[in-house]
């Protein structure tokens, strides 16, 4: 008699066990000679070693399916228990295809939609640091978050860290109501919005609570070494030179850094130079640092946004 403990990671227990343990009961019925006990993220199984190995393989296939598609049905679970993954599903889960980055909430297929968004995907897969520069609406942040979620799901990294400088765009942060978190959350909202498209609400809450996904203002990065993480610095045009240097030197082992920004929307004081602008001048010659420039052709918001960006680009300064 062998006893083994299996830890569920990257999935919520309820997703594997089902409502009222319905899925777990189906698994137990498939392995009548094993004694299976599930408590939270821990599954304890007792029985013959050969059967336990098969059980582990099935649990791995189930969690991989849920991790890829965000859900599993009774029919899909039964098929995995009886036959394993279909050849088509196996190819899909193992696929390195550039097009589909993440299977989002409600079956949404999240993939790069423009030439330059595809260039972002190619660049971050080729190297460990990428600057994505372009105007609002070009999908910089959304694509960056999708790449981070895809890296987490494929276990390329252990955590996602999303950060922004808390710089006021003509508004005074100190006069906003609430504690520090409540004051800063509006600045980080675009990151939350992207994550909610890609990860079911309950699972996202779990990942945030456990620190697998961290969202924090840039000042909180000081003194840290960011290992095994996909790190996104959003709105980087609003960093000072010192802040940008501080951030870039946080890079640890097995880390990916993706910096996004729009050099036409700098909210820093007039006499203060953007850290992003300085970094582009200093770091561009480094071979292993990639830069992708997005433009009005990458805008995927309302058609008017493209025209607005073009009009501002063509307007002569006063």
pLDDT band at 131 (very low <50, low <70, confident <90, very high): very high
Residues 84 and 231 in one domain: no
For residue 129, what is the enclosing H or E element? Answer: strand 129-133
When computed from its CA atoms, the radius of gyration of the chain, rounded to whole angstroms, is: 23
Structure tokens at 7: 């830890």
Which value, to the nearest 10 degrees, does the dihedral of the CA atoms of residues 93, 113, 229, 64 take? Answer: -20
Which value, to the nearest 10 degrees, does the dihedral of the CA atoms of residues 193, 194, 200, 203 take? Answer: -90
Number of domains in the chain: 2
Residues 68 and 210 in one domain: no
Residues 168 and 282 in one domain: yes
Strand 42-47 relative to strand 35-39: parallel, antiparallel, unpaired?
antiparallel
Residues 80 and 164 in one domain: no
Q: How far apart are CA 316 and CA 318, in angstroms?
A: 6
Q: Report the predicted TM-score, pTM, of the whole model to 2 decimal places.
A: 0.70
Quote the pLDDT of residue 307: 80
Domain endpoint, select from 69, 94, 119: 94
Q: How do residues 199-241 score in pLDDT, each as one tens digit? A: 988 899 999 999 999 988 888 888 888 999 999 999 999 999 9
Q: How do residues 247-267 score in pLDDT, each as one tens digit? A: 999 999 999 999 999 998 888
CA 184 to chain centre: 20
Q: How high is the mean pLDDT of the chain? A: 85
Mean of pLDDT values over 288-314: 82
Question: Which CATH number does the domain housing residue 25 bear?
Answer: 3.30.1370.10
* Nearest residue to 147 via CA among 103, 102, 108: 102
Quote the pLDDT of residue 317: 55
158 SS3 class: coil
Mean of pLDDT values over 66-76: 81
Query: Which of the pair, 116 or 171, is modelled with greater confidence?
Result: 116
Quote the pLDDT of residue 234: 93
Query: Which of the pair, 159 or 104, is modelled with greater confidence?
Result: 159
Quick check: 109 pLDDT over 80?
no
Q: What would the DSSP string read from start to end of 255-314? A: -EEEEEE-TT---S-TTSPPHHHHHHHHHTT-TTEEEEE--GGG--S-HHHHHHHHHHHH
Residues 174 and 308 in one domain: yes
Residues 115 and 85 in one domain: no
Contacts with 80 (C-beta within 8 Å, 6 or more apart), sequence order: 58, 61, 62, 65
Enumerate the β-bridge partners of residue 165: none
Question: Which CATH number does the domain housing residue 270 bear?
Answer: 3.40.50.300
Structure tokens at 39: 């408590």
Domain limits at 230?
102-314
Quote the pLDDT of residue 98: 45
Residues 86 and 128 in one domain: no
């Amino acid at each position: 008699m062998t006893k083994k403990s299996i830890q569920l990671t990257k999935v919520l227990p309820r997703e594997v066990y089902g409502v009222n343990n319905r899925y777990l009961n189906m698994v137990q019925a498939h392995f009548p000679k094993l004694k299976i006990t599930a408590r939270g993220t821990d599954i304890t199984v007792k029985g013959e070693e050969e059967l336990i190995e098969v059980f582990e393989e099935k649990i791995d296939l189930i969690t991989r399916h849920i991790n890829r598609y965000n859900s599993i049905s009774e029919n899909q679970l039964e098929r995995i228990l009886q036959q394993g993954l279909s050849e088509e599903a196996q190819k899909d889960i193992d696929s390195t295809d550039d097009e589909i980055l993440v299977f989002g909430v409600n079956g949404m297929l999240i993939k790069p939609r423009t030439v330059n968004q595809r260039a972002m995907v190619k660049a971050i897969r080729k190297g460990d640091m990428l600057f994505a520069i372009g105007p609002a609406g070009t999908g910089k942040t959304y694509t960056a978050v999708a790449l981070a979620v895809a890296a987490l799901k494929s276990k390329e990294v252990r955590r996602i860290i999303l950060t922004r400088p808390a710089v006021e765009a003509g508004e005074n942060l100190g006069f906003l109501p609430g504690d520090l978190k409540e004051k800063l959350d509006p600045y980080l909202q675009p990151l939350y919005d992207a994550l909610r498209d890609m990860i079911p609400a309950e699972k996202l809450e779990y990942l945030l609570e456990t620190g697998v996904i961290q969202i924090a203002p840039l000042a909180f990065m000081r003194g840290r070494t960011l290992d095994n993480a996909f790190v996104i610095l959003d709105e980087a045009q609003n960093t000072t030179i010192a802040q940008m240097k501080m951030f870039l030197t946080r890079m640890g082992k097995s880390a990916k850094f993706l910096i996004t920004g729009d050099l036409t929307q700098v909210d820093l004081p007039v006499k203060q130079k953007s850290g992003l602008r300085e970094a582009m001048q200093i770091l561009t010659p480094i071979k292993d640092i990639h830069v992708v420039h997005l433009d009005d052709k990458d805008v995927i918001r309302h058609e008017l946004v493209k025209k607005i960006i073009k009009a501002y680009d063509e307007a002569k300064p006063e």
